[in-house]
Every structure is written in C-alpha cells, then in structure tokens.
C-alpha cells in the first residue's frame, strides 16, 4: 500500500511547465516553432479535442467558433458553429476574425488560406503523456495553469488507481481487447494510436496490426487475435452485421456478447478524460475482478466535503460529500435536517423520522459493480461508507455527476419552493406509453437518471406531498419536450417524457400548512416551474444540450447521419456544401421545422403532406424525385431529397 500511495503522490504532482509571462515559445505537432507575444483574444478551434481542453480550463470567453462535433463541456453551447471537422467552412472562420486557429493536418485547406494572416497551431497528441503536456501548454497560453493542473492531477490519479488494480490481475488472465472501427469492413486503430494506449492502461492486450490512424483487419487476423472484448462508439454499430457472418462470429467477444459501446467524445479524443475513460473501460473488462473486495486498493471512506447553501429553516446544513467506494470517486448531495420529518420517495415510498436526505452519484466505472449488488445491498454499503443511519436516511441513486447539480428556487409572496436536480438523458430516455418496458423483476436495481429533491418553506400535508409528485413530473416532462429530448429507443419518431429510472423525494417541510399542490394551486405552479428550470439546467450541465442547439446536433439525436445522406444520394463530394447549406438559417430552420411536422405526422396529428411537398419543391427550386433514405421518416426524407436536388442543380 505504501508504494502505491507513493505512486499516487508522484503522479498527482508531476513536474509542471513554469507559468511565465509572454512571449511563449513552443513547437507544435507539425514541427513549427511558434511564438505568442500576447494572449489570444479571438480563437477558432477546428479540433474537438482542443475545443474541449480550452473550454474545460475556463478559457471560453476567447473561443469564438467550434465545429458541430463539440457538445461537451457545457460551455460549448452558444458558440458559433463553423462546420464539421473534415470540412470546416473557412468563410465562416474568417468572418469571426480569429487571431489564433487550432487546426489538424487533416484540414489541408486551412494553412494556405490563413498562414500569412492568422496564427495557426496544430496540437495533435499521440499519447496520454503528450495530452497532458498540451493541456499544460494551453493552461500557460490562456492563463489557466491552475485549472489545467487540477484536471491533469485527477486524470493521473485515476490512471494510478487503475494501474494498481490491474497489477493484481495475473498476466495470463489479461483480456484481449480491440477498438472496433469501420463501416463496411473491420478496422481498428494502428499500434501507435493513443486508443491502443487506453487499452493497455486499462489492462487489456490490443492487437498488433501496424502503424496508422486506422488499419483494416482481415478475417484471418481477426480470428488469430480472437478478441475477448471489443468496443466502439456511435456509427461503429454500422459494422456489427458483419460480425454475424461466418468466420467473423467465431471469436470469444461475439460468442460471449462482449461488444461494448462508449461515448465517442471519450473513445476518439485525446483530451481531458484519459483517466476517466481508462477507468470505465477497465471496469467493463474486469467487472468480476473489480467487484471483489480483496482487490480494492483504496480504503472505502469519505475523502472530502464541500458546503451547499440551502436556505430553509429546517435544513441544518447542506453539503456535497466525496467518497471512495470500490476504488472509484463517488459524490453525494446531502441535506441534514434539524428536525425529523416525513418524506415521500418514488424509490423508497413513505419514510418517517428522516433526518438526512441524499442524492448519491456513483460514476460509470462503478455502474456494473453496483448493479450486481441490487438496490438493498447497494444502499446499505453506501450508507456505511458515508456514515449515515439507514433508518433515518432517505436516498436516491444516479449516474449524473453532482458537479452538474442544478439548484433552483421559485417564490411567490411568502411561499418558496426549492428543487435540487441532477439529470442525464443520453442513454435511457423513454416516452412512456410508446416505448416498451423490458425489465420485469420485483426489485429495481438501476440508478435514477433524473433525480429531484423537492422542498418548500411550508408544511405539506400527505395529500400535498403525493400530489407534488404529479406536478413535478409534469414539469419535468414539459422541460424535456420543450428541449425536444428524444427517446433513446424510438428517437426518430418520439420525444422523451423522462428516463426509465427517474426518482423524486418530496420533503414534508415545516411552517404554514399546505394541503394542495396541484396544477391550479400556487404551490403546484412553483413546484413545476422549479423542476422545469432545474431539469433544463441539469441537462445542459450533464449532456451539453440546450434549447437553441445546432441543427447538426438535432439531426444526430434523431440518428440522421449526413454521411448516410450524401452516400445514399450519391453526392459524397458535396458533403461540405450540404453542411454549409444547413448552417444557413433559412435551410437549417427548414429542416428543424420539418422535425416538428414529422413528429406530428407520425402521431397522426398531420395527415396530408401536400403542403410539405410544395414547400420542399420551393426550397429545392423545382420538382424532384424523392429519395427513400434508410431509417428516415417520410417527412424528413422529403426535406433532404429537396436539399439534395438543390445541391445537384446549383
């Protein structure tokens, strides 16, 4: 244990680049020596990983433009979109009058266009260590050294924890792991890719296929390597049908259904989360080993507390508690009450004599470990670490980070409502009444995704407490629908009404008695308004989504791929022009308007599409032959058929 703690300290406090005054001189990834004489004021980042780095260290004010691939961190919202990574619109870039452009060597047109007028910087890290060096450099450039060092320290801490856990696994029991890529053939990153470094750091054994960003793999190579775990992201699912074919299905990963998917922002970027992703990947590879208490490397205990201001007479104090549980950093929002009271919980039912109310986050690496326990055992073990009495504690569980907590207050005269909301909607959002429920067991084992702690400065009757569940739920659903959050299971046709694992705790409170919290009451109105705002704010913080988000993000949420559009229409060479068209408010609004019509058409609220046909012809500049795009609703197919005709005839 002593040697492990020494390793932790060494990694937490590496030798830092000295924060010096300008000028700053460095060599970028292209080999160019660059000197900055002043801090940049107007930055355009054409590289999503660098956009993430600059925004996370707190330099968002300087960032004027990003590509539509950048959604997180939350500060991405509202930034001007200049196109996609492979074909950014350089006219839009120029219109922003940047003094510095972050670019990639894959963007060949950037250098000749701007090299004599704008400072161009290529930072393309090829390893975890190089990622940290670039993050340190960006900290110096933008005067955010301390924030950059904090991010690096946490990622190094996670890498050290995983290294210690993996060290307990014998070499002959390490799993063969492959990053699955490709569309029509099996492909994987080259041996020198940071993605294979992630696999090695997670304790896996990657294939040896040669150098390169992406390398094709023959069936013979696939069978010889015989991966035990494969993982991908996003459109990598396109290649899955190939794995059902003879020969390709004769490997352990396919036979044992060990095909995993993670967010593309983690798998494909060397940015600010290498430790976080390595931990998540490793926990999915070695779930059994990581669940065994004998293999824990950190004591299970509280490691930090931060105050949380909640101005209610019966709340003695609020705090966010950080703890190490099963070697991963958990976070809990805790309200300590100064008087025992009754609460109504959708997870635990009515509870009396409650003095502690909590919403507990356990991170993705621990999700599988906690699920195997079941809710009862998970609750008991978590409360034991936190030091809370199970008899007097009401608790919810979530996979949404407490760093993204939304605290909202709504007031009318002497009446006040407070909502504490955490929310994540990208994995299990559902439309109740439309989507299928496949879980059929007496005990719910999954953690909540939208969790709400709801309280007021008055004393709610039992009827008011239970009625509050409806007011809060309607406020939550209205928030999701007004954001057009899509169902994870039928996203092409349905908005979500919630997620499959949402929970609410309503506190009884103290003060003047209240017996009504329905839709016609002022208490019900305040509750719904607080939840509405809290859900939208929490979704923004957790998932980077806001109401006014780019059309590209809206299309992605409906699983409409521009690659598929141009390929099926045989205009692959016009993809940049299609992106430019959609950045034009006239055509972008045309497509987003059709989204609303499409939803209504699918639900039978619109029956005749004659006016849609005419509108599409006006936009297209004449009559056109509709294209039957795979997986696209009829209304959306009409719209994109019109845009394709316009591009062909321009």
CA distance linking residue 345 with residue 393, whole number of Å: 11
Does the structure show a pLDDT above 90 at 17? Answer: no
Does the structure show a pLDDT above 80 at 372? Answer: no
Q: How confident is the model at residue 629 (pLDDT cuts 50, 70, 90)?
A: very high
Over residues 444-454, the mean pLDDT reads: 71
Complete DSSP assignment for 310-378: ---TTEEEEEEEEEEETTEEEEEEEEEEEEEEEEEETTTEEEEEEEEEEEEE--HHHHHHHHHH-HHHH
Angle at 425 between CA 421 and CA 427, to 5 degrees: 135
Complete DSSP assignment for 230-288: EEE-GGGGGGGGGGGSTTTT-SHHHHTT-EEE--HHHHS--SS-HHHHHHHHHHHHSHH
Distances (CA, A) of 357 to 397, 420, 502: 12, 11, 17
Q: Are 646 and 569 within 8 A, CB to CB? A: no
**187: Cβ–Cβ under 8 A, 6 or more apart, which residues?**
181, 214, 215, 216, 217
Does the structure show a pLDDT above 60 at 20? Answer: no
Angle at 528 between CA 524 and CA 530, to 5 degrees: 115
User: How does DSSP classify residue 485?
Assistant: P
Q: Are 489 and 435 within 8 A, CB to CB? A: yes
Q: How confident is the model at residue 373 (pLDDT cuts 50, 70, 90)?
A: confident
Q: Are 299 and 268 within 8 A, CB to CB? A: no
Over residues 323-328, the mean pLDDT reads: 96
Percent of the chain with pLDDT strictly greater than 70: 94
Identify which of 346, 314, 513, 495 has the alpha carbon closest to the alpha carbon of residue 418: 314
Over residues 348-377, the mean pLDDT reads: 88
Q: How confident is the model at residue 370 (pLDDT cuts 50, 70, 90)?
A: low
Q: How far is CA 244 from the centre of its chain?
A: 30
CA distance linking residue 622 with residue 256, whole number of Å: 53
Share the mean pLDDT of the chain: 92
CA distance linking residue 622 with residue 546, whole number of Å: 35
Q: How confident is the model at residue 575 (pLDDT cuts 50, 70, 90)?
A: very high
Q: Are 267 and 236 within 8 A, CB to CB? A: no
Kind and range of the H or E run holding 224? helix 219-225
What per-residue confidence (pLDDT) applies to 361? 95
User: In the structure encoding, which two tokens stand for residue 381, read together?
Assistant: 């073990």
**Bridge-partner residues for 121, per DSSP?**
102
Does the structure show a pLDDT above 50 at 67? Answer: yes
Q: Summarize pLDDT for 594-603 with one digit per residue, the tens.
A: 999 999 999 9
Q: How far is CA 77 from the centre of its chain?
A: 13
User: In the structure encoding, which two tokens stand for residue 530, read together?
Assistant: 């607080």
Q: Summarize pLDDT for 72-82 with one digit per residue, the tens.
A: 899 999 999 99
Q: Summarize pLDDT for 127-180 with one digit per residue, the tens.
A: 999 999 999 999 999 999 999 999 999 999 999 999 999 999 999 999 999 999
Entry pTM: 0.92
Q: What are phi and psi of 65, to 5 degrees?
A: -150, 145
Q: Are 477 and 497 within 8 A, CB to CB? A: yes
Identify which of 431, 417, 436, 424 has the alpha carbon closest to the alpha carbon of residue 397: 424
Say how many Å lie between the first and final Cα of the chain, rounded.
69
What per-residue confidence (pLDDT) applies to 235? 82
Identify which of 18, 56, 272 has the alpha carbon closest to the alpha carbon of residue 140: 18
Q: Summarize pLDDT for 252-297 with one digit per residue, the tens.
A: 999 999 999 999 889 998 999 999 999 999 999 999 999 999 999 9
Alpha-helical regions (H) of 544-584: 551-557, 562-568, 575-583
What per-residue confidence (pLDDT) applies to 371? 63
Q: How confident is the model at residue 428 (pLDDT cuts 50, 70, 90)?
A: confident
What per-residue confidence (pLDDT) applies to 298? 96
Separate counts of helices (H) and strands (E) for the chain: 22, 25
User: How does DSSP classify residue 62?
Assistant: G
User: In the structure encoding, which two tokens stand for residue 299, read together?
Assistant: 């004591």
Angle, to 10 degrees, between the axis of helix 145-166 and the axis of helix 2-12?
Answer: 150
């Amino acid at each position: 244990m002593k040697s492990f703690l020494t390793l932790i300290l060494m990694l937490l406090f590496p030798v830092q680049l000295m924060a010096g005054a300008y000028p700053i001189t460095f060599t970028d990834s292209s080999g160019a020596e660059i000197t900055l004489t002043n801090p940049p004021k107007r930055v355009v980042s054409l590289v999503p990983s660098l956009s993430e780095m600059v925004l996370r260290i707190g330099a968002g004010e300087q960032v004027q433009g990003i590509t539509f691939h950048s959604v997180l961190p939350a500060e991405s919202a509202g930034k001007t979109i200049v196109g996609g990574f492979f074909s950014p619109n350089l006219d839009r870039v120029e219109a922003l009058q940047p003094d510095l452009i972050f670019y990639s060597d894959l963007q060949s047109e950037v250098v000749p266009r701007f090299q004599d007028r704008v400072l161009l910087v290529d930072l393309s890290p090829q390893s975890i260590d190089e990622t940290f060096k670039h993050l340190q450099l960006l900290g110096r450039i933008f005067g955010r050294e301390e924030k950059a060092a904090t991010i690096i320290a946490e990622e190094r801490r996670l890498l050290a924890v995983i290294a210690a856990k993996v060290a307990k696994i014998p070499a002959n029991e390490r799993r063969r792991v492959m990053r699955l890529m490709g569309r029509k053939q099996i492909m994987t990153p080259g041996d020198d890719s940071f993605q294979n470094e992630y696999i090695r750091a997670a304790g896996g054994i990657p294939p040896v296929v040669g150098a390169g960003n992406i390398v094709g793999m023959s069936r013979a190579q696939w069978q010889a390597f015989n991966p035990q775990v494969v993982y991908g992201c996003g459109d990598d699912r396109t290649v899955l049908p190939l794995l059902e074919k003879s020969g390709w299905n004769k490997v352990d990963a396919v036979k044992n259904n060990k095909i995993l998917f993670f967010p593309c922002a983690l798998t494909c970027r060397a940015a600010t989360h290498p430790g976080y992703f390595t931990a998540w990947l490793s926990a999915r590879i070695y779930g059994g080993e990581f669940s065994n208490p004998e293999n824990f490397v950190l004591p299970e205990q509280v490691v930090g507390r931060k105050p949380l201001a909640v101005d209610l007479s019966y709340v003695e104090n609020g705090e966010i508690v950080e703890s190490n549980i099963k070697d991963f950093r958990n976070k809990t929002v805790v309200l300590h009450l100064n008087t025992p009271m009754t609460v109504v919980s959708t997870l635990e039912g009515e509870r009396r004599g409650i003095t502690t109310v909590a919403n507990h986050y356990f991170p993705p690496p621990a999700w599988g470990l906690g699920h195997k326990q079941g809710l009862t055992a998970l609750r008991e073990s978590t409360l034991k670490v936190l030091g809370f009495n199970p008899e007097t504690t009401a608790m919810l569980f979530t996979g949404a980070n407490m760093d993204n907590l939304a605290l909202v207050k709504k007031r009318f005269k002497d009446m006040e409502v407070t909502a504490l909301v955490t929310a994540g909607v990208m994995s299990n959002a559902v439309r109740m009444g439309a989507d299928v429920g496949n879980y059929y067991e007496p005990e719910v084992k999954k953690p909540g995704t939208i969790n709400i702690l709801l309280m007021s400065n008055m004393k709610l009757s039992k009827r008011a407490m239970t009625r509050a569940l409806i007011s809060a739920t309607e406020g939550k659903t209205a928030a999701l629908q007004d954001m057009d959050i899509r169902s994870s299971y039928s996203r092409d046709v349905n908005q979500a009404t919630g997620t499959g694992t949402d929970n609410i705790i309503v506190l009884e409170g103290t003060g003047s008695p209240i017996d009504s919290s329905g839709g016609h009451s002022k208490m019900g109105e305040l509750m719904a308004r607080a939840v509405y705002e809290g859900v939208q704010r929490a979704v923004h913080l957790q998932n980077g989504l806001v109401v006014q988000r780019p059309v590209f993000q809206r299309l992605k949420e409906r699983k409409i791929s521009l690659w598929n559009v141009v390929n099926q229409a045989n205009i692959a060479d016009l993809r940049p022009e299609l992106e430019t068209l959609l950045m034009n408010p006239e055509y972008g609004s045309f497509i987003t308007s059709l989204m609303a019509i499409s939803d209504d058409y699918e639900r039978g609220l619109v029956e005749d599409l004659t006016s849609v046909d005419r509108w599409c012809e006006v936009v297209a500049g004449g009559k056109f032959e509709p294209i039957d795009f795979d997986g696209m609703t009829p209304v959306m197919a009409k719209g994109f058929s019109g845009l394709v005709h316009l591009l062909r005839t321009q």
